[in-house]
Structure 1
Amino acid sequence: MSKTLKDLTAGTAGGIAQVLVGQPFDIVKVRMQTAPKGTYNGMLDCAGGILKNEGPLAFYKGTLTPLLGIGVCVSIQFAVLERCKRYFYTQNLASGHGGPEGKLLSSSQLVLAGVFAGIGNGFVSGPVEHIRIRLQTQSNTNPTYRGPFDAIKKIYSSHGITGIFKGQNITFAREAVGYGVYFWVYEKLVQREMATKGIRREELSAGSAVIYGAAAGWALWPVIYPIDLIKSRLQTDGFSAADGQKYKSSLQCIRAVLKTGGIGEFTRGLGPAMIRSPFANGATFLGFEMANRLLNST
């Protein structure tokens, strides 16, 4: 297998692990982000309401879309990241930096690789998350969409490709900023352990992959959460004035959030995201590292 194909396959394993572990937390986050102020008294109130009114399976509402899509997204993230890292290895070797193999990447190189990984991921994560959020927030009693494929069909027939990619610009902003931080934290922690213990990447323990993935996730969410909230508001908004559109742009949405709830409104629903983060991101990196190790040993 080529290096890129191995990266894609290992990334898919990481993405599937992320969705299965993180989906229940994500639906609570989205409900808190998009519900009218005062709907929930907090994270436990929101989760309890979902369990009581919709049943336990509601926590996996809209899972098919991310299971298919996030697997692709994470595979793209890691494929772009690893390709950028290999490019920087070559640059370092040519300039005499980064150790004997050029693999000790600088912070700026890691952040840049993460930014490109995020932008590459954004082309898929934008529409995938848009469809997921529509399914997560629709009424159980009178749902607009019967499932992800029905949602895609109806949105495309009424609003075209721009409807499917609603909120795409803010998605690119979130991914570029977020994954620059995310992969920088993870890779720096891995570098530190390798240097301290004198080990190779292949010798990194499963426990370390989980812990460093959790740390990367904790660093990611406080940075991107305000952007993520605006994205969720835009992706649950109407498509036009005729169907109740509130926001014509990200800037208008930001102003409306500040006006109605102040600066604190940008952190509504952050609790579930921070609780979800160590589990989902630890699982992501564990899935990637173990799958990558297995693929490169055969």
Structure 2
Amino acid sequence: MSDWQTAKELFAGCVGGIVQVLVGQAMRRGSTTIQPFDTVKVRLQTQPREAPLYTGVVDCASKTLRNEGVLGFYKGTLTPLVGIGACVSIQFGALEAMKRLLSGGNANGSQNLSLAQLYIAGAASGVANSVLSGPIEHIRTRLQVQSSANRLYSGPVDFISKVSKQYGYSALLKGQAITVLREFHGYGIYFAVYEYMMQRTMAANNIKRSQVPSWKQLIYGALSGYTLWIFIYPIDVVKSKLQTDTFDKATQKYSGAIDCFRKTMAAEGFAGLYRGFWACMLRAGPANAATFAAYEMTMNFIGR
């Protein structure tokens, strides 16, 4: 029964990930989708401190469109499209497994977990997810920041082939330690916020999880997404800077996450840790609202 339950949760999580991608495509207005927001975010995060290429979100978007066309916003898209279903599947599967573990194996008992316990369950799901999200985001970030005039890699497969041959497969895990930290804290907050609000709703109305209205799930999912990024954005900036730093240790700008944080603060101040923040927030609400709602609907359909 436990294995079958886990299989259902993994499947529902995969559906949530697929819907997340589809919602991103449905949000298109001209060249405006979730992926362009992410490309703008990463370029703002990683631009040179000494001679910044962009003054803000609008300037980055307009220059990217003018110099590289609409396709410039979609660099590195294939990798997350392939991996997003697997990542979200792992997130929800690990979350539910940890909730059962913390409640002593009692499925109903998981509805009464404390906020701290929900954070731990979410953090565990984040660590499990980092196994895939780390290398996937590294590949995507590298492809997003390269310009048409300085194109080193034609796509994900070319990136993996060239980097692994020159620097070894371990180079694909560049920035993995900071990614694990981001996922631990980020998903701890992310799932704690959503699950706590779901628990309060069920308790206040004396209803089952399957009876919580979809509109509330959408609101809770959006709020969870906003909260996630508010708390982890500086960590994400450090991660992006590390993942786009050179592979050659002799010419690297940063020796590690702490060094990157210190140099960013010294050169740019606190604002340097929030470059591209609003581009990120524009996509956080719709994407995460859709993910949670799709997961809950799928679990209700196949049976909890």
Q: Is the 8 A contact 2:100 2:110 kept in 1?
A: no
Indicate the larger mover: 134-143 or 146-155: 134-143
Indicate the larger mover: 40-49 or 170-179: 40-49
Which one-letter code corresponds to 1:258 in the other structure?
A: M
Aligned equivalent of 1:179: 187
* Aligned: 1:272 with 2:279: yes
Aligned equivalent of 1:83: 97
Aligned residue among 36, 40, 48 for 1:36: 48
Q: What is the alpha-carbon distance in structure 1 between the residues aligned to residue 146 and residue 71 of structure 2?
A: 15
Q: Is the 8 A contact 1:214 1:281 kept in 2?
A: yes
* Aligned: 1:8 with 2:10: yes
Which one-letter code corresponds to 2:229 in the other structure?
A: W
Give the drift of 1:133.
0.3
Q: What is the alpha-carbon distance in structure 2 between the residues aligned to residue 173 and residue 101 of structure 1?
A: 28
Aligned equivalent of 2:242: 234
Q: What is the alpha-carbon distance in structure 2 between the residues aligned to residue 46 and residue 70 of structure 1?
A: 25
Which one-letter code corresponds to 1:263 in the other structure?
A: F
* Aligned: 1:113 with 2:115: no
Which one-letter code corresponds to 1:16 in the other structure?
A: I
Q: Would the alpha carbon gap of residues 17 and 53 (structure 1) be closer, same or farther in structure 2, given more than 3 Å must change?
A: farther
Normalised TM-score (structure 2): 0.90
SS in 2 for 1:62: coil
Aligned equivalent of 1:25: 37
Q: Deviation per CA, 1:62-100: give whole Å up to 9, x if none.
A: 111001122211111110001111222336x6xxxx9x7
SS in 2 for 1:275: helix
Q: What is the alpha-carbon distance in structure 2 between the residues aligned to residue 213 and residue 180 of structure 1?
A: 14
Task: Give structure 2 stretches of 5+ with no counterpart.
Answer: 25-33
Q: Is the 8 A contact 1:70 1:128 kept in 2?
A: no
RMSD across aligned C-alpha pairs, in angstroms? 1.8
Q: Would the alpha carbon gap of residues 218 and 62 (structure 1) be closer, same or farther in structure 2, given more than 3 Å must change?
A: same
Q: Deviation per CA, 1:86-125: give whole Å up to 9, x if none.
A: 222336x6xxxx9x74531111110110110010011111
Q: What is the alpha-carbon distance in structure 2 between the residues aligned to residue 28 and residue 196 of structure 1?
A: 41
Q: Would the alpha carbon gap of residues 183 and 257 (structure 1) be closer, same or farther in structure 2, given more than 3 Å must change?
A: same
Q: What is the alpha-carbon distance in structure 2 between the residues aligned to residue 59 and residue 195 of structure 1?
A: 44
Give the drift of 1:186.
0.4
Q: Number of aligned pairs?
A: 290
SS in 1 for 2:48: coil
- Write the mapping of 1:101-250 to structure 2, written as runs, cut at 5 A: 101=109, 103-241=111-249, 244-250=251-257
Give the drift of 1:189.
1.0
Q: Is the 8 A contact 1:64 1:148 kept in 2?
A: yes
Q: What is the alpha-carbon distance in structure 1 between the residues aligned to residue 214 and residue 71 of structure 2?
A: 30
Q: What is the alpha-carbon distance in structure 1 between the residues aligned to residue 285 and residue 114 of structure 2?
A: 25
* Aligned: 1:67 with 2:67: no
Percent identical pairs in the alignment equals: 48
Q: Is the 8 A contact 2:111 2:199 kept in 1?
A: no
Q: Would the alpha carbon gap of residues 196 and 57 (structure 1) be closer, same or farther in structure 2, given more than 3 Å must change?
A: farther
Give the drift of 1:18.
2.7
Which one-letter code corresponds to 2:17 in the other structure?
A: G
Aligned residue among 54, 60, 80 for 1:46: 60
Q: What is the alpha-carbon distance in structure 1 between the residues aligned to residue 211 and residue 66 of structure 2?
A: 46
Give the drift of 1:196.
2.4
Q: Is the 8 A contact 1:19 1:66 kept in 2?
A: no
Q: Is the 8 A contact 1:214 1:278 kept in 2?
A: yes
Q: Is the 8 A contact 2:264 2:273 kept in 1?
A: yes
Give the drift of 1:6.
1.3
Aligned equivalent of 2:30: none
Which one-letter code corresponds to 1:54 in the other structure?
A: E
